[in-house]
């Protein structure tokens, strides 16, 4: 396995050689030495530019120095034969033969993995949903995977880091490059409490062409993909398409029909995506039992307060919505909302509109 890892590491630096060509080459040779010996034969199956790129890398590749760089940065290199290689990723068509990991590699063993993705320009509502959903699922031991982008991705990671399931961030560049720069703090937190993963070697810049490949890995690592907010041309819809082709579930959060950030998610719902109107919809899809009383442990809440909590699940809500969803009398609801507000569990955000602000495990 050592020889194959070294061979794949070298090939990962060659422009023009992706998973398919890596697979082809590794069926012909098992080591860098064999590659050099059979270079002429293998070159006949490659285009001229790729052959030239391969020749340059082979002539300048210092194996010991390269491996040392990864060790110094605490980056683990995994190939498909490695027992730590993620099982879900093995299931997809044309899985990456080599991946680079920094952080808690044990997270790759959790088959309860959900991807949460969305727009880089997420609204306040979208970011809050992503954070709360990430934390809720993570506290139920789901690992949350996303793309480390600004907006929805970043807030999903932030929420997930608060729970037991933690989070995996898939990069469209080398693990030595922080992109976007404003996510540096999150990057450091993911190194410490989560996992950063890339199919690109050190030094790879975040070029536009890298991100569809990254999106394929995000969906490949998960059993389901939740799209929180996305426009018609959002990369999140590409991730959803990959998920469908990989046999994964696709979820979508409904949005304002007047918002461009909801155009993509609402279309997904129209096309048959699983609707998420409260966070435990995802648990229900995978037959994970959820008990509000057991998870919250709030024996002091009244029956009406628990009914309000179950009905809202952390979302902004109106008094009218509670009347319709709980069947309770408006007088009961109003008196309990006052108590919840006094106790700091909710706050008023508009006329007859409230939001949970306490530490609530939704």
For 137-187, write each residue's pLDDT tens digit. 999 999 999 999 999 999 999 999 999 999 999 999 999 999 999 999 999
Best CA proximity match to 150, nearest among 224, 232, 207, 229: 229
Q: What is the pLDDT of residues 7-55, one digit of tens each?
A: 999 999 999 998 899 999 999 999 999 999 999 999 999 999 999 999 9
120, pLDDT greater than 60: yes
* pTM score of the predicted model: 0.80
Please report the pLDDT score of residue 313 as a whole number. 60
> How far apart (Å, rounded) are the C-alpha atoms in residues 229 and 35?
46
**CA 175 centroid distance within chain:** 16
290, pLDDT greater than 60: no
The answer to whether residues 222 and 115 touch, using CB atoms and an 8 Å cutoff, is yes
Rounded to 5 degrees, what are φ and ψ at 359?
A: -80, 95
Best CA proximity match to 63, nearest among 5, 138, 146: 5
> How far apart (Å, rounded) are the C-alpha atoms in residues 330 and 145?
41
Q: Which runs of consecutive H residues, i.e. helices, occur in the chain?
A: 2-12, 19-28, 32-37, 39-43, 48-60, 63-72, 87-90, 124-139, 152-160, 184-193, 210-221, 235-245, 263-270, 280-285, 292-296, 303-312, 319-326, 330-342
* pLDDT band (50, 70, 90) for residue 260: very high
Please report the pLDDT score of residue 347 as a whole number. 80
**The tokens of 106 are what?**
């044990």
């Amino acid at each position: 396995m050592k020889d194959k890892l070294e061979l794949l590491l070298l090939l990962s630096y060659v422009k023009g050689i992706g998973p398919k060509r890596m697979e082809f080459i590794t069926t012909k040779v098992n080591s860098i030495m064999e590659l050099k010996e059979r270079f002429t034969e293998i070159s006949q199956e490659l285009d001229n530019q790729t052959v030239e790129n391969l020749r340059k890398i082979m002539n300048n590749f210092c194996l010991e120095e390269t491996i040392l760089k990864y060790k110094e940065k605490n980056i683990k290199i995994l190939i498909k034969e490695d027992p730590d290689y993620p099982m879900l990723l093995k299931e997809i068509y044309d899985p990456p033969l080599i991946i680079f990991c920094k952080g808690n590699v044990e997270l790759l063993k959790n088959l309860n993995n959900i991807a949460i993705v969305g727009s880089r320009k997420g609204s306040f509502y979208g970011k809050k949903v992503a954070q709360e959903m990430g934390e809720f699922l993570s506290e139920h031991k789901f690992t949350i995977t996303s793309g480390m982008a600004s907006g929805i991705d970043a807030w999903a990671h932030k929420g997930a880091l608060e729970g037991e399931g933690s989070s995996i961030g898939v990069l469209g560049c080398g693990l030595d490059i922080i992109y976007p720069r404003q996510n540096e703090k999150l990057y450091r937190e993911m190194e410490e409490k989560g996992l950063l993963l890339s199919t690109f070697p050190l030094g790879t810049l975040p070029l536009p062409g890298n991100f569809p490949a990254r999106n394929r890995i995000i969906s490949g690592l998960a059993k389901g993909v939740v799209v929180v907010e996305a426009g018609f041309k959002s990369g999140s819809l590409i991730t959803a398409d990959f998920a469908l082709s990989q046999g994964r579930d696709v979820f979508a959060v409904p949005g304002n029909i007047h918002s461009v950030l909801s155009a993509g998610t609402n279309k997904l719902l129209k096309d048959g995506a699983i609707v998420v109107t409260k966070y435990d919809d995802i648990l229900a899809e995978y037959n994970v039992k959820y008990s509000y009383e057991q998870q919250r442990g709030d024996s002091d809440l009244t029956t009406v307060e628990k009914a309000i909590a179950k009905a809202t699940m952390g979302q902004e809500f109106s008094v009218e919505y509670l009347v319709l969803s709980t069947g309770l009398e408006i007088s009961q609801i109003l008196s309990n909302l006052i108590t919840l507000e006094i106790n700091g569990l909710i706050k008023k955000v508009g006329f007859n509109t409230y939001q949970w602000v306490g530490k609530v495990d939704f």
